[in-house]
Amino acid sequence: MKELLDYLHSLEDLELIILSGANTLFVRWYLDAMGINGVSQILSNFAEVKDGRLVVRCHHNQTWCHMCSKNLCKGRLLENLIQERTKSGVSHLSVVYFGDGKNDFRPTLKLSEHDVVFPRHGFPLHKLVMQNSSDVKAKLFSWKSGFEVIEIFKKKLFIH
């Protein structure tokens, strides 16, 4: 996975953002432990160490989405992110979304035909996408390893 994130970071005009159902602290610890740089934003549940204890707060308490957990709707986070980027003048915005869990299905449904989704083969998102392929507008590439994704970028998406 490190090789994939390093490769994506090397691409021009690509912003790496992580949407995670975990929490900001765990994601940051993982990235630091793996020596991964270039992630501009982590959207997740909030976490901090306070008085020697891990304190985690929900990103939001949502009731509008039955596909996601109550503490975080990745679909809403993705919608908000796209709106923010559009308002700030980002043109030709395309989203390349990687996911494996069932909580990644909602954001997948928010993607357009200009976007790409990479469901991890054999995981819940892959199964949901295959069962509901007519609802998914984005280009679809399943993957098993980060090296496979790099090859897809180079050979099928023509991004070097």
d(CA 93, CA 21): 24
Fold type of domain 2-155: Rossmann fold (3.40.50)
> Any binding-site annotation on 32?
no
27-73 per-position pLDDT tens digit: 999 999 999 989 999 999 999 999 999 999 999 999 998 888 999 99
Domains in the chain: boundaries = 2-155
Which has more confidence, 37 or 92? 37
What rounded mean pLDDT belongs to the chain?
A: 93
Query: Given this model, what pLDDT does residue 4 score?
Result: 93
Q: How confident is the model at residue 127 (pLDDT cuts 50, 70, 90)?
A: very high
Write down the pTM of the prediction.
0.90
Query: Given this model, what pLDDT does residue 160 score?
Result: 61
d(CA 157, CA 73): 28
Q: Is the pLDDT of residue 144 over 90?
A: yes
Question: Which of 11, 6, 5, 9 minimizes the C-alpha distance to 157?
Answer: 11
